[in-house]
Structure 1
Amino acid sequence: MKSRILFAFILSVFGVLQSNAKSKVDTIFAPNLKPIGRTLINNQHNLALITSAAHFGFSFKGNECAIYVSIADAAGHNYLQYELDGTYQKRIRIDGNLKTPVIIKANSAGTHRIWIYKATEATSGALIFSKIAAEGIKNLSIPKLPLIEFIGNSITCGAAADDSEIPCGTGDYQDHHNAYMAYGPRVARALNTNFILSSVSGIGVYRTWNRDSPSMPLVYENANFQEKDSLKWDFKTYQPKIVSIALGTNDMSNGDGTARAAFDTARFVNDYVKFVQLVKSKYPKAQIALLSSPMIKGNSREILQRCLSRVKTAIDAGYPADKPVSTFFFEPMEAHGCSGHPSVADHQILAEQLKPFFAGLLKQ
């Protein structure tokens, strides 16, 4: 009798140990994650995703993983979004007072691959990650693929594109961001390239949508795209094959109704040329592509296209040994997103227009 009880006890202990072994939780701490985009490891040794669609990936076993993420503004909120096993899932709101990890569940056991993206732009604040925990968790390295950097404004950010959860005209500006679904990431995924977004809502070549400053040339070298940011970005981090620049919408904007000077074509071209020269100083081997705006119509559209052609002519003359600048002129679009911006569906249309253009550049 005693031997049977002892044997049963040993079996139960073995079962518990075996169960614990199977459910062992592993951890990747922030400094060991492998992100792409403008990111940094802060003084607390946490990973800050700064820019739109900055992302990292990992694999795990089982049904769930835990994401330890926060934001600096205790009273604010931000968004991450994620892709699971190759399929986009959804955005997740991150509140400033979040005390528990975000749990992401899979529908089945086994090994899963997940990519975490920042849904919002740099000016919305960073997403700060301390660690990721799950059974059998392993880093996913960024694939060794050509890289496209997309420089632009709110359109490039995917701002005001997504009203699926919060209707346009309600909530906060970041509530409608969807960087994953913006035209740049869509083009990159379709053409099997890496991408980074260097974009700021409202920004232009020499002025913003309703003010004279800041402009993209003033903030581009700053890690957080803030005008008075003392932290500079290390441009040796990436060497893109293509740099796409889509600016001009806000320079030509009527703003918010406040008085502003007429669009200055000479200044626009002059400042644009200087900005392309700045970009080329950071990425000497990159192919430069200048994109127009799908939001600008009529005579303004013609003016912008002529300006971009003048920028191309000036850069090609100044860098005769480099690949010529390429230009792409969008067809005018009636936008269906918030506040006159392209919607998620509109971004798919823009991406379809752009895919043959970028496919051609990648072959050069």
Structure 2
Amino acid sequence: MKYAFSLIIALLITFCACAKPVKPKDLTFFSANDKHIKYVGRIDFTDPLKPRFWQPGVYVQAMFEGTSLTITVNDEVLYGKLHNYLEVVIDNNKPFRIQTTGKTNIIEVAKDLAPGEHTVTICKDTEAGIGYIEFVGLKCEKLLSIKQPKRKIEFIGDSITCGSGIDESTVKCDKGQWFDQHNAYLSYGPTVARELNAQWYITAVSGIGMIHSCCKMDIVMPQVFDKINQRADTLQWNFSKYKPDVVTICLGQNDGNQDSTAFCSAYIAFVKTVRAHYPKADIICVSSPMANNDLRVILKKYITSIQQYLNNDGDHQVYHYFFDKGYNDGCGSHPGMVQHQVIAQQLADYIKQVENW
């Protein structure tokens, strides 16, 4: 008995000596200019250590190794009070929304992950009028190469395309700031792109039109299409950086019932501008999913004639898609979150037909 007890004690001592605690791996800060970090969207890389972007839907992606991830972003804090929202997605988990709190923001976006490889997507939910975001870098064990989809889509539009008024998860309609319900990541455009395994650009400004914008705005889309910060109509964009396979144009809601000649002429000229930048793209002219019955009829008539004119003029890669009803469950009669998913599915199905994807 004494021998057995001594043997047990000896075994316990041996086990404790061998079972040393596993030391956590050191975390490294990777600057924004690391080659493994991928950027998609209209971005100002004047300072490669702090790439700056204004547009909704601009996103940063990386593949990392480890159990945690911390990001560092700067916010313009426009007017000394506006704070952008970001959507963060780890692997294929449910997206979650965060808001900056100051000029410099160090945010732990993942912890207690399973050891191994993970992906992160960080998307600007709010639009250019809320100010810029600068991506400074991220902290993790290791960065790895990430593969991006080859397909590319660009979504041109207004507040609907921005994802305005769709997300009441933190602030209900008519409460807080006007941008508190913005969610570009879950708007119809990026949802279409993810469904079709494509990259996306959102080229949109709330309130903007083809020839007339709402809310006393002094810009229209043809004027700011070539800018990085479209709301301020500043910083020239280099179109060679992104050549989409498909471009959708969803404008007309803020124009309303305009003179047919003026609207259609401007629309045709704009499509020709888009074509000049993207010679191989399929261009789909889309009616407003927010339109009432009267405007829906008008836009259908105008867009049909615009497509016919361009097709007859030799551009056979111009198409149209019409929504058959209005979607107004969100804030300010915009499409709601669920309706954006419905809109996205309809548009994705049509793009599949056009592209044979």
Query: What residue in structure 2 maps to residue 183 of structure 1?
Result: 188
**1:333 is aligned with what amino acid?**
G
In structure 2, distance between residues paired with 1:85 and 1:212? 39
Superposition map of 1:56-135 within 5 A: 56-73=60-77, 74-98=80-104, 100-111=105-116, 112-135=118-141
1:298 positional shift? 2.1
Tell me how far apart the structure 1 counterparts of residues 190 and 25 of structure 2 sit (CA, whole Å).
35
- Pair 58,86 (structure 1): closer, same or farther in 2 beyond 3 Å: same
Superimposed CA distance per residue, residues 120-153 of structure 1 (whole angstroms, 9 cap, x where no aligned partner): 122222211111111123353423x211100001
Residue 31 of structure 1: how far off its partner (Å): 1.9
Q: Which runs of 5+ in 1 are unaligned?
A: 1-10, 253-261
What does 1:132-211 correspond to in 2, within 5 Å? 132-143=138-149, 145-211=150-216
Question: How big is the shift at 1:195?
Answer: 1.2
- 2:157 and 2:249 in contact (8 A); partners too: yes
Rounded Cα–Cα distance in structure 2 between residues aligned with 1:138 and 1:42:
25
TM-score, with structure 2 as normaliser:
0.88
Overall identity of the aligned pairs, in %: 31
Whole-angstrom distance in 1 between the partners of 2:185 and 2:243 = 22
Q: What's the CA shift for 1:193? A: 1.5
Q: Deviations 1:206-254 (Å, cap 9, x if unpaired)? A: 011244731000111111103541x1000000111111000000000xx
Task: Trace 1:252-271 onto structure 2 (pairs within 5 A).
Answer: 252=256, 263-271=258-266
- Which of 299, 307, 311 is equivalent to 2:306? 311
Instruction: Determine if contact 1:61/1:109 at 8 Å carries over to the other structure.
Output: no
Structure 2 residue ranges without an equivalent (≥5): 1-15
Structure-2 separation of matches of 1:346 and 1:299: 20
Secondary structure of 1:59's counterpart equals: strand
* Secondary structure in 2 matching 1:251: coil
What is the CA-CA distance between 1:337 and the residue it aligns to?
Answer: 0.8
Q: CA RMSD in A?
A: 2.2
Q: How far off is 1:333 after superposition?
A: 2.3
Moved more, 290-299 or 278-287: 290-299
DSSP 3-state at the match of 1:63: coil
Q: Distance in 2 between matches of 1:363 and 1:44?
A: 38
Residue type at the aligned position of 1:85: D
**C-alpha contact 2:88 2:109 (8 A) present in aligned 1:** no
Aligned 8 A contact 1:206 1:212 in 2: no
> How far apart are 1:45 and its partner, in Å?
2.7
What's the CA shift for 1:174? 2.0
Once the two structures are TM-superposed, the CA of residue 293 in structure 1 deviates from its matched residue by: 1.0
Secondary structure class of the residue paired with 2:89: strand
Distance in 2 of aligned mates of 1:300 and 1:72: 37
Partner secondary structure for residue 57 of structure 1 = strand
CA contact (8 A) 1:249 1:295 kept: yes
Mapped contact 1:146–1:194 kept (Cα < 8 A): yes
State the 1:97 CA deviation.
Answer: 4.0
Task: Give, in angstroms, the shift of residue 171 of structure 1.
Answer: 1.2
C-alpha distance in structure 2 between counterparts of 1:87 and 1:268, whole Å: 43
Matches of 2:326 and 2:109, distance apart in 1: 37
Q: Matched residue of 2:309: which SS?
A: helix
Counterpart Cα distance in 1 of 2:294 and 2:57: 34
For 2:345, give the aligned amino acid. Answer: E
User: In the alignment, does 2:288 pair up with 1:283?
Assistant: no
C-alpha contact (below 8 Å) 2:83/2:100 kept by paired residues: yes
* Partner AA of 1:103 in structure 2: E
Partner of 2:27: 25
Shift of 1:164: 1.2
The alpha-carbon deviation at position 179 of structure 1 amounts to 0.8
Is the contact made by 1:57 and 1:141 (CA closer than 8 Å) also made in structure 2? no
Q: Contact 2:310 / 2:316 at 8 angstroms: preserved in 1? A: no
Instruction: Give the aligned residue type for 2:83.
Output: H
